[in-house]
Amino acid sequence: MALGLAAAMPVGVRAGCFEDNSTTLSSTVYWNGEEEIEGRVNGGDGEWNLSKSNWTDECGSTQRTWDGSIFRGIFNTVKGNVLITEPVPFHILEFSDVQGYVIGGESLQMRRADRYATIVVDSGLFAQINANIENDPIQPRFGPDLMVMGGGQLTLVGKKTFTGETIVYEDTALSLGTSLHSGSVAGDIQLMAGAKLEVSSLREATFDNKVSSEDSSAEIRFKGGGTVYFNGDASGFSGTTTSTSSINVTSTLGGGLRMESSIQASQTFSPTLSGNGTIGSYGAKVSIEDGTISPGNITTGVAPFFGTLNIKGDLVLTEKSTLTLSLSTPDTTQNDMISVTGSVRQLPGTIRVPGMPSRGIYKVMVFQNEDFVPLGATKFIPDEGDPNEYTLLPGKEELYIWAH
């Protein structure tokens, strides 16, 4: 009998909601977008401000406005586009039961519940916030940290100006931007066990945050066919970064790294790892299985872009890997080089040498291979008109190129 009753319930009506509790006010309310009371929670599209009575209790029987006494607001039942028409404060926002809520318009102002303001996206669901998230104007210097939790995926589009830390709780994903629009937060980002951070870059994205992880199960994903300029500090990150974007590292990106090709606009895009920074951690792997590694900082604006890229751990190359090197004069600092604290077992399939360097022998890589010479055949691709011929001289712990 109970099963039959549950099956017959209309959408938005909850078990236990057949008693009249219209006099009950709760610090937990449900979004009722169209401001209609029908004995159920409506959800859906609507305008959110401090004067419209489009929030209700769990039974849809008590209509009320959003005010400072509300501790927790829940979006569920039917997905909707919610337009904030004036800044609204929040302690806890939760997205449950349904995919695809989008919150846009004016700002969300973080109020602290203990030390956190919290956004919950239930497991298997995604929600998107386009509106700004900012510090509480009452105590702007003491903005709380933002906790993202629930096991689902929260996407933030646009620049979020709150200054507290962002904590991504266990097995939850935070996405900064989409394939068409960028997204960012101002403060540090902490990833708990199994948490994921995604950064999308259709063209270019700058990442300046400090990132840390609780353990090696956390993940960072750079997505898209653009370039991420990584200027932040991820020395405290011990998980794995996977990237289909090119990455230019000027600081430290800890943990393991895997560069992967992707399909962008019906074409295969192979990413490039470049920069003068440090990538990887001891015991981890930096893998360029189908892509390019190119030491030097591409953001300097002046060619050639000489520099040393430091790899902590092992560097994994394949016959599909490309090594691009800007070389000038032997025995000077005006040459690209890769310094690897671990091993290099495989030579890249292709080496590109732009420009026309002076003849001589160039040391281009150092590594620790314990008497093992890297294997593989390499094809050189010099610039058109370059009179030099090139020969690879692999050693036990060093790699040289002879321009002759």
**Domain-located, residue 8:** no
SS3 of residue 186 by DSSP: coil
272 with 169, same domain? no
- Residues 6 or more apart whose CB falls under 8 angstroms from that of 51 comprise 65
Residues in the chain, overall count:
404
CB 102 within 8 A of CB 131: no
235 with 183, same domain? no
Q: What average pLDDT does range 78-89 have in this prediction?
A: 96
Domains in the chain, number = 2
**Domain-located, residue 284:** yes
**CA-CA-CA-CA torsion for 64, 70, 71, 73, nearest 10 degrees?**
30
**Domain-located, residue 305:** yes
Domain stop point among 127, 154, 187: 187
Weakest mean pLDDT among 24-38, 77-91, 96-110: 24-38
270 with 141, same domain? no
**Domain-located, residue 192:** no
Residue given tokens 């600081």 in the structure block = 251
**Domain-located, residue 160:** yes
Domain stop point among 187, 210, 239: 187
Domain that holds residue 295: 231-404
- Which of 183, 195, 186, 181 lies closest to 149 in space, CA to CA? 195
- pLDDT at residue 191, rounded to an integer: 98
**Domain-located, residue 103:** yes
CB 253 within 8 A of CB 237: yes
CB 116 within 8 A of CB 136: no
- pLDDT at residue 8, rounded to an integer: 38
246 with 169, same domain? no
Which band of pLDDT confidence, cut at 50, 70 and 90, is reported for residue 69?
confident
364 with 309, same domain? yes
172 with 253, same domain? no
Domain stop point among 154, 187, 220: 187
**Domain-located, residue 85:** yes
Q: What average pLDDT does range 25-29 have in this prediction?
A: 76
163 with 235, same domain? no
CB 183 within 8 A of CB 161: no
145 with 290, same domain? no
Q: Does the predicted model carry a pTM greater than 0.75? A: yes
- pLDDT tens digits along 172-210: 999 999 988 899 999 999 999 999 999 987 788 889 999
**Domain-located, residue 212:** no
159 with 245, same domain? no
In the predicted model, is pLDDT for residue 300 greater than 50? Answer: no
- Which of 96, 141, 98 lies closest to 122 in space, CA to CA? 96
The per-residue pLDDT of the chain, averaged, comes to 88
174 with 73, same domain? yes
250 with 340, same domain? yes
265 with 166, same domain? no
- pLDDT at residue 46, rounded to an integer: 95
In the predicted model, is pLDDT for residue 388 greater than 90? Answer: yes
* Better-predicted residue by pLDDT, 38 or 103: 103
- pLDDT at residue 114, rounded to an integer: 64
